[in-house]
Structures are given as C-alpha cells and as structure tokens.
A and B are shown apart, each in its own frame.
Chain A
C-alpha cells in the first residue's frame, strides 16, 4: 500500500488543468501561415505528396496535408507552420489556407444544428470507427482519454456500442472492405447523431487518394459535423474541436 502511494506521489499531477489554453511547443506543425513572398510554386506543388498545395491562388488544404513540412523546408521564406493546434472546423473550405491570410480556423456557428448544443453540450458519447486508419489516429484518440488530456472531464467519452453513442468518429481513408461495416455502425446510432472525421486520411483520403481500394461514398452522402485535421490529429486539436462544436461558451 505504502509502495503504491509512493508511486502515485512520484507521478505528481499529470492532467492538463486548462485544455482550452494548453499549447504545444514547436516544432509541432499546426496551422501554417503563407505570406506573399515569391517562391518556386511549381517546385512546391510537385514536392507535396498529397496535392494539398494549389498554385492559383497559392494555398494549402489542411484536409489533404500530412504536415510533413517539406514545403516549409524548401520555401521557409514563404511557408511557416505555427504551433496553432486549433484547426478543427465544420466547414470543409475553412481548411484551405490561402496566401496572405492569417485568420484563425473557425467553426461556422450558423451551421451547427441546434440539437447538438442542447443535447450534447454536457454529455457526448462517441463510437469510433477505424475505417482503414493506420493506428496512429486511433492511438491519439485513445490518448484523449488518458491522464494528461482526460477528455472524460467534459462528459465526452468513447463507448463500445453504437446504441449508446451520439455520433461516430471516423479515422482512416475508408477502405472498400470497411464500407459496409461503417454504414451498419452509423445506422445503429440513434438520432440525432453527429459525424466527426479525424485525420487527413478520413477527410480527403490523404496519401491514399486515388487508391482503387477505397470507397468514400459515405463521406459524400452525409453532412459532416466536424473535420479534425492532422496526421494524426493531436489530442488537443481533437478535444478543442469538439468543445467548440458542442459548447457555446468556453
């Protein structure tokens, strides 16, 4: 008993007191800033592994970006990845960062369904569906519930049964082989329900775009309540994204 208590003491306080104010130190790659400096745009476009870079206007789509940092490495005068981890949004287009633009990535409040805040504001149970995710997003989603991030304090938890869930969190690019299971699981969640896409692979297919082994119709069929970018998304990106979705004031 004494030994256990000593061990506990040795651990100290592990939890992050205020999740909404927590920061991640650089070189964590969060929201990029693209300035108007000239750069070899062709090179940057061709270097990007996932076609996240578009030339006209020059932009980076965080729904496709794997945050590999290659573009910033070859054009540091033009592209800087800040450590701003608040990147989740309910509007797909908001993930496209255009040159010269320095705004925060926000949620469009008008598009948030009323019942999300009235029903899920204090309690949100989620069923996670790994649809060909590579296990890094899954590990980070598990981390949201660990002693550091402790997402449970906000009433947000992952649950085993879709019947107990208020929504689903999809990770991975959605393989053909998981298409039917994903649909069945979603159908089993009672209404009203939300859909969250966690990670670049889920949002756009990521590096797996154009793979003949994917079937992404599910994503097109439903409206998505939250896009959480990252490869994988950082637990803080995920938790803060959900809090913004379900709570009005924070």
Chain B
C-alpha cells in the first residue's frame, strides 16, 4: 500500500518536473528553451512542486523586462537530482498589473514577489506583506521614499515603539530596526533595509567591461568578496562556454573556505563581545588576523579582492603558500580548540547563548531560510553538497547541522564548520599538490564571446549561505539582464522571528549570531 502511494507521488513529481527545463549549476541554455506557461498553470506547477517535497526550494524568481512585457523566471533547486528547474510566465503590458500571490501558499516566495512588485509595480493580490525591500533608484513608485516605509503598527496604551538606525551605535552597516515593545519585551521587530542601495544590478549593465563587472561583484558585499566574485566568474565562464583548469577550481575553493573560516571566527569574536566575555573576544579576533593576512600574502588584499578573475587569475597559488597555510591552520586549530572548549563549556556563557532567539525548523522552512540559518535549525541545505561546483564536485563536502535554532545553535554551527573547513582545505591542498596544470591569466574582453540569447544560473555556498547570480544575453551576446541574490535576502526574516517575545536587551547577541548582510540585500 505504502509503496504504491510513494510511487504515485514520485510519478506525480516526475510529471511536474517535465513542465520545467532542467539545467545543472553553471550551465547556460538558450533563453527560448525556458518554458513559458500561463500564470494559472505556472502558479499551480510551482506550488505543487515546492509542496511535494522538502528537497525543492526556490533559489530565485525575478522579472526580466522586455519592451512592455515582463518575463518572470523562476529557478527551483531540486536537491535530489542536483538539477535547477527553470520555468517562466509573461506579464503583458506589465504596468499596474494584478496577479494572485504565490506567497499565500508558499511563504518563502514573499521576498521575490515583493521585489518584483517594488521594481515593476506589479500588485500581488492576497500577499500578506507586500512591502518595499530596498527602495531602488529605478523603482516603479518614486512617490514613496525610504523615510515613509509602512511599518506594522500594534495599538495599545501600554505599548511603545523603539526605532534604531539607520546609523547604529557600532561601526557597522546601516539599517532601521523598529521594535514594538511592552516593557522590556519585544512583541514585534520589523527590519527596514535599502539604505545601502548602490544600483549594482543597473551598473552591471552600464559598465560593460569584464574587469569592471568583476570589481562590482567583489564589492556587492565586501565580507563575501570571494563568494560573490566566484559566482560572477562562473556565470561568465558558463556563458562563454570555456571550461577552466581543475587547478584553478581548487584554488577558488580554497579561497571560499578561507573566507568562511575568517568570517565565522570574526562572528565568534563578536558574539563573545555580545556576552561580555573579553577573553574569547580577543582570542577569536586575534585568530582571524593571520587568516586574512594569509589572503593578503596570496593576493595583496585581506578580503581576497582582486584574487578571483574569469578563466584565470593574477595571483596563482604556490607551493610556499600551500606550506604556509597548512602551518597556519595547524597553529590556528590548536588555539581555536582550546578557546572553544573553554567557551562552549563555560556555564555563564552557555546560559547567555542557550534558549534565546529561537527559530524553529518549520519557521525556517516557511521563510525559505538558507545557509547557516537553515542549518542551525536542522535543515540540511548546502549548495556545496546539493548543487556542487568547483572542487566540491570531486571532493565531496559533508554538511553539518545543529538543531536547536537558538543563538547557541548558530554559534556551535560556526565552530563545527570552521573545523570542517580546516580539514577540507587540507584535503584541497593535497589535491592541488598533485595537479600539474598551469594557471592562465584572466581572460580579456577581446577573447570573450558569450553565447547569444542564453541564460545561465550560478550558485555557490558562501559563508552566509547560497549566492545566486544569473545573466541573460541578447542576439549579439551582450548581457542585457543581470540578477544577484545574496543569502541575506531570505534570512533577515529569521532575525525578526528570533526576536519575538525576547527581552530587547537580547537584540545585540541575536543580531550578531545571524550577522546578515545589509549591502547584500540592498545591492
């Protein structure tokens, strides 16, 4: 009995999958081969497939403008087959159109529909939270600006609101946090972003040179320079149809994991400041320094800017660097272990970290959480394992998760991931040493010829979570649409949820435990 139901379900899923075109991560296909459905069909297909199994989640849904129409393209990751499923619908004469909102059925879609609504003035009916997400310069409704954001209001004589930002107390990026409180208790937190908007997606089309775009990618979020520039280069290489040497892939993967170690360590330092434990704050901060200084010894920049270029690099890895990093990681790990054993067994620290800022697995699934946030709630979601590229393809990465969804869970996951990244880098160096390929210099504009009328999606697991870039070319091979998704786009909602019914004084450590990107959201 059970097997037949299962088989029926499988068959059902198979039929649904056939409505999409399936591609692999970093595969370019003709834009025409993306099926176009009418909106009703699109709606049910998308809802049915995402509801059918946890292994499906939407990695991007965006509108690409053509004359008066909008082609809305959805990319759904199918973790079981390691495929990306693409589908689209077209909104004709898109001005002021109304569409039924998919968010009613799948909450995780809320952010994508909000983005389309804000950019193009599409009204999604029955969307529960159709609010601006970044006030971009080219938004449809310029009568609204960032100072008249429609905050959610709760009325009550005992309630008060606290507004924080855009400029915060510390040296961090700007964002506005609006708390609705009863005494010390936060009933509702709403995060309003957009202050960092620099028009990056517009600039990707305005600045047509490869090095310009590469530099833009490095500056989407400076703490994820490597992550975003790797994904950018993958899109370009996919559209150019030029495979890169395995050795270069290994080097990029080493860089990705180093970025992860550096930022996770910085986060543990910041969390320590949050709980006023000076010792681990200093130790972790001091441990991060040699890692970023190593990146500097590799490419001249502590954040790895200028390291990643399409098809080649200015800064090939070397035997000396390999020996240095192995030695460095060895020393790092010794100190890291001693400090972490202390921190994670210190009763006063655990008391501060455990049981606060809870996000449940169900909530994380609902909001479409990705990366660290998903994994700290027990969801196995990791592009390195589910849609691998670079060295993750032939040197598998096994994902770790923690399950309690609180500040402690997020701290512990960082500790575990740092350890894993150290092991993983060691294995990469081993592979690198066996590889005799030569690393080319970066490709130049004249050598580049992008496939015409193609679309490509590239995904990678940055230290925060999945980074997705996508580009579309026209009949001359010119890029006419570029779309960027930083993992923080989804995960900001998790911070709002985590704060509910907490004391407002717990906000700083919660914020630090997520460490989301403002500029990654604002673009």
Which A residues lie at the B interface, using CB under 8 A? 3-4, 6-8, 10-11, 14, 24-29, 46-50, 66-70, 73, 81, 128-143, 146-148, 158, 160-161, 172-173, 175-178, 180-181, 185, 201, 206-208, 210-214, 231-232, 234
Looking at B195, B197, B219, B286, the one whose CB has the most chain A CB atoms below 10 A away is B219
Q: Are B441 and A211 in contact (CB under 8 A)?
A: no
* Contact of B196 with A231 in the complex, beta carbons under 8 Å: no
By the criterion CB–CB under 8 Å, are A213 and B136 in contact? yes
Proximity string of chain B (162-173) to chain A, C-beta cutoff 8 Å, 1 when within and 0 when not: 000011011111
Whole-angstrom distance from the CB of B457 to the nearest CB of chain A? 24
CB pair A232–B138 under 8 Å, yes or no, is no
Report the nearest A residue to B299, measured CB to CB. A27
- Verify B195–A234 contact, CB threshold 8 A: no
B193-215 to A contact mask, C-beta < 8 Å, 1/0: 01111110011001101011011
Q: In chain A, what residue has the closest Cβ to B165?
A: A181
Q: Please, how many angstroms separate the alpha-carbon atoms of A28 and B306 in the complex?
A: 12
The answer on a CB contact under 8 Å between B335 and A67 is no
Closest to A140 in B: B302
Q: Which chain A residues border B199 with CB–CB below 8 Å?
A: 208, 211-214
Q: Which residues of A contact B285 (CB under 8 A)?
A: 146-147
Is the pair B266, A139 in contact by a Cβ cutoff of 8 Å? yes
| Contact A142 B223, beta carbon cutoff 8 Å | no
**Closest B residue to A210 using CB positions:** B206
Q: Are B169 and A147 in contact (CB under 8 A)?
A: no
With an 8 Å Cβ cutoff, the count of chain B residues facing the other chain is: 65
Q: Which of B96-148 contact A (CB under 8 A)?
A: 135-138, 146-147
Bound complex: CA A1 to CA B339 (Å): 13
Whether A147 and B282, one on each chain, are in contact in the complex, defined by CB atoms closer than 8 angstroms, is yes
Instruction: Tell me if B450 is interfacial: C-beta within 8 Å of chain A.
Output: no
CB-based contact A212/B171 at 8 Å: no
Q: Closest CB-CB distance, A250 to chain B, in whole Å?
A: 24
User: Which residue on chain B has the smallest CB distance to residue A137?
Assistant: B222
| Residues in chain B near residue A158, CB distance under 8 A | 170-171
Partner of B169, one of A142, A160, A173: A160
Per-residue 0/1 for B414-453: is the Cβ within 8 Å of any A Cβ (1 yes, 0 no)?
Answer: 0000000000000000000000000001001000000000
**B287–chain A nearest beta-carbon distance, Å:** 9
Q: Which residue of B lies closest to A27 (CB)?
A: B300
Q: What residues on A are CB-neighbors of B219 within 8 Å?
A: 134, 201, 206-208, 231
Cβ-defined partner of B215 (8 Å) among A81, A132, A147, A207: A207
**Cβ–Cβ contact A136 & B195, under 8 A:** no
- Extra A-B contacts (19), CB below 8 Å, given A47-B444, A160-B170, A173-B198: A7-B279, A7-B339, A49-B215, A50-B212, A66-B306, A67-B306, A130-B167, A133-B519, A134-B219, A135-B223, A136-B223, A139-B303, A177-B195, A177-B197, A178-B196, A206-B219, A207-B203, A208-B198, A213-B202
Measured CA separation A8–B212 after assembly (Å): 45
- Chain B residues near A70 (CB-CB < 8 A): 211, 306, 314
Asked if residues A142 and B171 are in contact (CB atoms below 8 Å), the reply is yes
Q: In the bound complex, what is the Cα–Cα distance between A172 and B173 (angstroms)?
A: 10
For this complex, 16 residue pairs linking A to B, each with C-beta atoms less than 8 Å apart, are A6-B338, A8-B279, A10-B335, A27-B296, A28-B296, A67-B301, A68-B211, A69-B300, A73-B441, A128-B171, A132-B195, A132-B197, A132-B519, A146-B285, A206-B219, A208-B219
Is B297 an interface position by the 8 A CB rule? yes
| Interface of chain B residues 8 through 38 with chain A (CB within 8 A) | none
Whether B254 is near chain A, meaning CB under 8 Å from some CB there, is: no
| Residue B389 at the chain A interface, CB threshold 8 Å | no
Select one of B147, B170, B303 contacting A232, CB under 8 A.
B303
Q: Which residues of A contact B518 (CB under 8 A)?
A: 135
Cross-interface CB contact of A135 among B173, B209, B282, B335, cutoff 8 Å: B173
Closest to B335 in A: A10
- Is the pair A25, B297 in contact by a Cβ cutoff of 8 Å? yes
CB distance from B134 to the nearest CB of A (A): 8
Which residues of chain A are within 8 angstroms of B191 by Cβ–Cβ distance? none
Residue-wise, chain B 333-362 has the 8 Å CB interface mask toward A (1 for contact) of 001001100100000000000000000000
Q: Which residues of B contact A28 (CB under 8 A)?
A: 296, 300
Could you tell me the distance in whole angstroms from the C-beta of B319 to the nearest C-beta in chain A?
16
- CA of A173 to CA of B203, assembled, Å: 14
> How many whole Å from A45's CB to the nearest CB in chain B?
11
Complex contact B173–A136 (CB within 8 A):
no
CB closest chain-A residue, reference B515: A135
B517: Cβ under 8 A from any A Cβ: yes
Residues of B within 8 A of A173 (CB): 198
- Chain A neighbourhood of B174, CB < 8 A: 130-131, 178, 181
CB atoms of B222 and A136 under 8 A apart: yes
Answer whether residue B258 sits at the interface, using C-beta atoms and an 8 A cutoff.
Answer: no
User: Once bound together, how far apart are the Cα atoms of A132 and B522, in whole Å?
Assistant: 9
A156 to chain B, nearest CB (A): 13
CB distance from B131 to the nearest CB of A (A): 15
CB distance from B390 to the nearest CB of A (A): 22
Cα separation A91 to B207 with both chains bound (whole Å): 29
CA of A137 to CA of B173, assembled, Å: 10
Question: In the bound complex, do residue A7 and residue B306 qualify as a contact, i.e. CB atoms below 8 Å apart?
Answer: no
| A residues in contact with B370, CB < 8 Å | none
A37 CB → nearest B CB, Å: 20
Give Cα distance in the complex from A128 to B168, angstroms: 9
B225 within 8 A of A: yes
Establish whether residues A134 and B300, one from each chain, have CB atoms under 8 Å apart when the complex forms.
no
Whether a CB of chain A sits under 8 angstroms from the CB of B289 is yes
